[in-house]
Structure 1
Amino acid sequence: MQLNGLIYTVPKEIKLLIGAFIIVLSIGFYTGLLFVGETSSANPNGIEEQYLGNESDENAEVMKFKKSEKEMLTLVHNHILSMSIIFFLVGGILSTTQLGKKLKLFLILEPFISVILTFGGLYFLWKGILWVKYIVMFSGVLMTLTFTVAIIIILYQLFKQNNVSK
C-alpha cells in the first residue's frame, strides 16, 4: 500500500476531522509548554529547581520543594504514555503526507526518542544526576521542533489542492 501522498485523496470530511484534531492537539501541546515556562523558567537550572527544590536558596521568590518519588513516577508515567499516543497519532497522519522518506522517518521516530530522553532524564535528574538537565532541555526543544514541523506539514498538505503525482 502506497502511503506517500495519500493525504491528498482523503475525503473532505476526514480532512476536516484530521485538521480539527491537529489544531486542538496543538493547542494542548503548546499550553503544556506555557506551563513548563511558568514552572521551570525553561532553562536547565530552572528545570533542576522544579524537581529538586530550592529550599537552600534564601533569595528565592517562590519556595519549591523536592518532588516525592510518587510525584516523579506519576509525572514520568503519565507523560511517557500520553505523549507516545500523541506522537503515534501524529506520526500515523504524517505517514500519509508527501515527503522525502528520510525526513518523514526522522519526524516520525525522533519524538519517541525525545520523550524517553526528556522524561527519563527528569527522573535521573531527580535521582541526583545533575548533568542530565542539559539532555532534558535539548531533547525537549528537539521534540517541540519536530512536533511543530510535522504539524505544519500535515496542515499544509491537508488543505492544499490535490496535486497528487502518481
Structure 2
Amino acid sequence: MIVNGLIETFPKELKLLIAAFVIVLSVGFYTGLLFVGETSSANPNGIEEQYLGNEDDEEADVMRFKKSEQEMLTLVHGHILSMSIIFFLTGLVLVTTRLNSKLKIFLLIEPFVSVILTFGGLFLLWKGMLWVKYVVMFSGLLMTLSYTVAVFIILKQLVKSSSRYKQL
C-alpha cells in the first residue's frame, strides 16, 4: 500500500480534523516548553538545579530542593507515556505526507529516541550523573525541532491541493 502523499487525497472533513488536532496538540506541546523555560531557565545548570535542588547556593533567587524518587518516577513515567502517544499519533499523519523517505524515517523515529534520552537522562542526572544534563538539553532541543518540522510539513500538505485529485 502506498501512503506517500496520501494526505493530499483526504476529504476536506478529515483534513480539518487533522489540522485541528495538530494545532491543539501543538499548543499543548509548546505550552509545556514554556513551562520548562520558566522552571529550569532552559540551560544545563538550570536543568540540574530543577531536579537536584540548590539549597547550598546562598545567592539563589528561588530555593529548590532535590526531587524525591517518587516525584522523579512520576515525571519520567508520565512524560514517556504521554509523549510516545503524541509522537505516535503525529507519526501516523506524517506517514501519509509526500516526503523524502530518509527524512520521513528520521522524523518518525527521532522523537522516540529523544524521549528516552531526555527523560531517562533526567533520571540519570537525578541519580548523580551530572554530565547527562547536556544530553538532556541536546535531545530535548532535537525532539522539539523534529516535532516542529513534522507539524509544519503536515499542516503545509493539508492545505496543499493536488489538481489531479480535484476531480474525484
TM range (shorter): over 0.9
Paired position in structure 2 for 1:97: 97
How much is the aligned-residue C-alpha RMSD, in angstroms? 1.0
Identity of aligned residues (%): 75
The structure-2 alpha-carbon separation of the partners of 1:54 and 1:163, relative to structure 1 and needing over 3 Å to count, comes to: farther
Paired position in structure 2 for 1:19: 19
The structure-2 alpha-carbon separation of the partners of 1:164 and 1:45, relative to structure 1 and needing over 3 Å to count, comes to: farther
Paired position in structure 2 for 1:47: 47
Count, aligned residues:
165
Distance 2:8 2:160 in 1: 8
The structure-2 alpha-carbon separation of the partners of 1:163 and 1:67, relative to structure 1 and needing over 3 Å to count, comes to: farther
Q: Which blocks of at least 5 consecutive residues in structure 2 are unaligned?
A: none
Distance 1:61 1:4 in 2: 52
Residue deviations 1:101-139, cap 9 Å, x none? 000000000000000000000000000000000000000
Runs of 4+ in structure 1 deviating by more than 3 angstroms, as ranges, are: none
Distance 1:103 1:89 in 2: 18
**How far does residue 164 in structure 1 lie from its aligned partner after superposition?**
6.0
Distance 1:164 1:146 in 2: 30
Matched, 1:109 2:117: no
Q: How does 1:26-41 map to 2 (within 5 A)?
A: 26-41=26-41
Q: How does 1:1-166 map to 2 (within 5 A)?
A: 1-163=1-163
TM-score (norm 1): 0.98
Structure 1 counterpart of 2:80, which letter?
I
Residue deviations 1:127-153, cap 9 Å, x none? 000000000000000000000000000
**How far does residue 162 in structure 1 lie from its aligned partner after superposition?**
1.4
Would you say the 8 A contact 1:5–1:164 is kept in 2? no
Would you say the 8 A contact 1:95–1:104 is kept in 2? yes
Structure 2 counterpart of 1:59, which letter?
E
**How far does residue 161 in structure 1 lie from its aligned partner after superposition?**
1.2
Distance 1:102 1:92 in 2: 16
Distance 2:26 2:130 in 1: 31
